[in-house]
Chains A and B, each alone.
Chain A
Amino acid sequence: MIIDINFIGLIIASIMASAVPLILASCGELITERSGVLNLGVEGMMIIGAISGFALMTVTGSLIIAIFGAMLAGVLISTIFAFLTQTLITNHVATGLALTIFGIGISAMIGKNFVGIPGKEFPVLFQGLKDTIPLLGPILFGHSIVFYFAFALPFITSYFLKKTKIGLIVRAVGDSPESASNQGINVRLVRYACILYGGAMSGLAGAYLSMIYTPQWIENMTGGRGWIALALVVFSTWNPIKILIGAMIFGGLTIIQFHMQAIGVRIPVQFLTALPYIVTIIVLVVISRDSRKIRLSTPSSLGKSFHKDN
């Protein structure tokens, strides 16, 4: 059997494409969590982004409006979460779960009119270069702008947290909101901003699914990716680069197990389907074992409400 080297390139590219929504949502949630807020509503925000993007694209015909509209929808729904947890000091976990249930429900309602409508083709970049280099060509070229953004995002996030003043303030708020407040930092403002940013990235992740990855609307089409994104954040120990690794492993195993099922490998399907979840978590646990580093990157105030008393 001759395996075309470009075929391998295509498989790798498809793995990377399936990792995109995970990277986007995880990196957004990572910033939220680094400020000390645990938002379990990622799945809900993602699906809202998916339906908003698809609906706007169908109605307006503009891809730009659709993409930014999906991000805005993510911001709006996360504003509800921010208002509840930061202004009304509700419990992060319960509010986040409610957000997911709300998002799934409302997206199904809006989505009724959009089932079965075909999507639009999303423009890709560097299509002409795809065949110039063997193997690397299909990996590097011919993808959407969102794809390139997603693979830059972990590095941008890492730089933002480590090197910028605002990144430092986000980490400080997550470490000790009391101290930050005593230093004159507006904790509530920082946390609002981080929650809204997380919402925007989840919205974008959803839009990628419904507009680029599988351009159509299907009810519940995020299919638990929001939860995987949440798990990636925790198991990567809040490290954006490890999120990238985790998302690639997860995406890779998902794609490979499809191929294995297709070839007819004699392993129970249920086991193959479960494989990506198990292996991703095992790998991330193994590469994040240094307890000192975990202590340093874990936001100490994660999930705890901060109420400034006077």
Chain B
Amino acid sequence: MNTNLKISNVTKIYPGCVANDNVSLEFNSGKIYALLGENGAGKSTLVKILSGVIIPDEGKIYLNENNLKLNSPLDAKKNDIGMVFQHFNLFETLSVFENLIIDSDEQRESVREKIDAIMKKYNFSIDLDIPVLNLSAGQKQKVEIIRCLIRSPKVLIMDEPTSVLTEQETSELFLSLKKFSEEGILIIYITHKLKEVMQLCDEVAVMRRGKLVSVSEIKNENIESLANKMVGQNLKTIKKKKAKTSSDQLIKITNLNFTSEDPFETNLTDINFSVNRGECLGIAGISGNGQSELFQVLSGEIISEKNSIEFNNNYIGDLSPQERREYLMAFSPEDRLEQAAIPQMKIFENVALNNFKSSNFFNNGLINENKIKEHSKKIISDFNVNTDNIELKSQFLSGGNLQKLIIGRELITSPDLLICFNPTWGLDVGAINYIHETLIKINEQNKSIILISTDTDELLKLSDKISVIHKGKLSKIMNSEEVTSEKLGILMGGAN
């Protein structure tokens, strides 16, 4: 049976922002649709309207010519619209099975049979009786998908589903989605990742600042054309000039080891490398191969042997992050809201957290608020953070703006070395470009960068030298001109 979903003149206005401006779209089953846009373009608002979480100010939604009244998530479910949110809607302390039956009126046994049948059909294997908090992100997503499939939906909406998945899990997801589509489920795929759109979808609708910009078939598009539509201007292609080869060594890591007691952490074995001034060393690898531990050892969150890290002719292996900052190191951790900033604190308070001695942010234990605010304003304008309110709580900044703020904060000391861990994770194209430009500028000022990243394109673009980390061991360090993404892929898989 054919399913036809029509969104007609939908408008949703929030104070100070038009999230959806008169959006009309039509979808038919048998195809996979991409809804593409930067963070804050209004995609999430639109799908929340489709799933009944948000009620639009104006506009109508038709499913097979029937006008739907979607006043609550329950209405969407009743009308066979299934939705997998970007942030999982699971109950962590309940078992998988309990999560799946909570919204079902059927008998436990019959639901269990249904779930077993679905898992068999799509090759999912999940233990139904363990609590959800023991599952990996990919498994959690499968639970969400099963929850939708139990109701045999006509429409399945996926909101940024790959942001938490590994590459392996992503390709498994794509296979499943294609299968669902063949079986007649209409699939709407929300993302800002262009590659995925090209790989998976048949048609693409691009949104920008709440408006629908274009609807087209994938075969008529390519990554550049989509990127330009998404950002609304022609993106500059960033290219790094080849750095002058300097032989002035800044940091040297010798025989660094780390053994963890936590079975979920990776041990680091015999790490050796050095970085010269003005250089960017990229460290590639599939996530979970020791990157997080390496970052923590370098930043001082994990203390190591004094002599294992030599920075600017000082041995600093046993120093805390605070003390390392005094030696002009700076850090940008992976998890922006958990590690780099405190979400409930205001922007200027987060700026002060860096707490560098010579910053004059504190006088005799008192906070020098004017000084901090002045500096925060400077960061906001210098680094293009899209707000003028430094009293705003950081949790309300988009990922891109928050990352710009963090990098800006870290550069206050004009550090000799910046260590970044997945700095563009989850950001949209515009913000990624900006961060990349900033990092290149740092190198041009003869400052150094250690860039730990799972994004090989990013590494190839920015690094002068590249190494690959696999199971806590570092490969030999290569000049980036000699490296291709294929070669990196092989090393990341553990081959020599």
Contacts and interface: CB of A to CB of B under 8 A. Distances in A.
A181 B73 CA distance: 8
B133 A295 contact: yes
B72 interface: yes
Contacts of B102: 168-169, 172, 183, 185
A182 B89 contact: yes
Interface string A287-304: 000000001111010000
Contacts of B202: none
B73 A172 contact: no
Contacts of A300: 92-93
Nearest to A179: B89
Nearest to B88: A179
User: Dominant SS at the A interface?
Assistant: helix
B388 interface: no
Interface string B267-289: 00000000000000000000000
Given A168-B101, A310-B55, A182 B73 contact: yes
A184 interface: yes
A188 interface: no
A93 B182 CA distance: 53
Contacts of A183: 73, 89, 102-103
A172 B95 CA distance: 11
Given A168-B102, A184-B77, A179 B91 contact: yes
Given A169-B102, A184-B73, A184-B103, A175 B89 contact: no
A176 interface: yes
A310 B54 contact: yes
User: Dominant SS at the B interface?
Assistant: loop
Contacts of A175: 91-94
A168 B103 contact: no
A302 to B, nearest CB: 12
A133 to B, nearest CB: 41
Nearest to A162: B98
Nearest to A297: B93
B90 interface: yes
B131 interface: yes
A178 interface: yes
B253 interface: no
A183 B147 CA distance: 10
A182 B92 contact: no
Interface of A: 168-169, 171-172, 175-176, 178-185, 295-298, 300, 310
26 contacts: A168-B102, A169-B102, A171-B93, A171-B94, A171-B98, A172-B94, A175-B94, A176-B89, A176-B90, A179-B88, A179-B90, A179-B91, A182-B53, A182-B89, A183-B73, A183-B89, A184-B77, A184-B103, A185-B102, A185-B103, A295-B93, A295-B133, A296-B93, A300-B93, A310-B54, A310-B55
Given A176-B89, A310-B54, 7 more contacts: A171-B91, A171-B94, A179-B88, A182-B85, A184-B73, A295-B133, A300-B93
Interface of B: 53-55, 72-74, 77, 85, 88-94, 98, 101-103, 131, 133
